[in-house]
Amino acid sequence: MGIPSFSLEGKVAIVTGGKRGIGKAIALAFAEAGADVAICSRVIKDGELQATANEIQGLGRRSLAVQADITRKTDVDNLVQRVVDEFTAIDILVNNAGIYFVDPPLLDVPEGDWDKIINVNLKGHYLCSQAVGKRMVDRKAGNIINIASELAIKPSSEAGVYCIAKAGVVMLTRVLAKELASYNIRVNAIAPGAARTKMLEYLLSDSEALKQYEAQIPLGRIAEPGDIIGTALFLASEASSYITGHTILVDGGLVA
């Protein structure tokens, strides 16, 4: 038996929220591994999405940048159709797009905050998985990777709704894995710890708070976006061909 391949040569991937942070790191890594990569974002006026697509093309792969609000089914359906029109098929979906902000205790959370966090972090994963999953079922092949969070397992009183949404992503992963296994579709999740991204600017801008947080992490630091790509490549490739329905923590040992 040979060493399993981590190559994504000839594959087509969609990475939601792919213009920066963890999504961008995964998109570029997939391109380096041989995949053509479509990326999407709700906001495109800042030019970051197209800039990332240009970087993918600079690696010798094809790319497509699409404006899409993943909480809207019409946007998701349009995204999927555009990718199929451009690349013919979709082999890999990475549900990465998400939002995070500090909330009051659950008893005081405004309904609007609840809806926004759940819609982006859970409903969006569901809508994308549903739309892409149907295409994968037709081809009897595919791979879905959901980006969850360590907070799906370790609750925080400062981000209760986010914790609930990400716990939902973990269960969504398990249910989809059960339902889609007979179609040769694998579904797994990655649960990153706090990472040095725009989403955590509030923590990164407070050196004392960051120092206290990192002191809780056995490996002594928060994650860089690049720390997630090895796990993403593993799950996207044939190296993990017998793994489905699982969530892999990439958190520096915080939840250990």
User: How many Å apart are CA 52 and CA 22, to the nearest integer?
Assistant: 12
Token pair of 105 as six digits: 């205790």
**H or E element, residue 55:** helix 48-58
**CB-count burial class (<10 Å; 0-12, 13-18, 19+) for 154:** middle
Query: How many alpha carbons fall within 13 Å on the CB side of residue 32?
Result: 11
Task: Find tokens 């990400």 and name the residue.
Answer: 166
Strand order in 185-192's β-sheet?
Answer: 63-67, 36-41, 12-16, 92-95, 142-147, 185-192, 247-250
Question: Contact at 8 Å (CB) between 203 and 209?
Answer: yes
User: How many Å apart are CA 134 and CA 140, to the nearest integer?
Assistant: 10
Catalytic residue of the set 100, 126, 162, 183 = 162
User: How many Å apart are CA 30 and CA 10, to the nearest integer?
Assistant: 11
Annotation says 162 is catalytic = yes
Alpha carbon of residue 26 to chain centroid: 9
User: How many Å apart are CA 192 and CA 98, to the nearest integer?
Assistant: 13
Contacts of residue 180, Cβ cutoff 8 Å, sequence gap at least 6: 133, 136, 137, 142, 144, 186, 187
Catalytic residues: 162
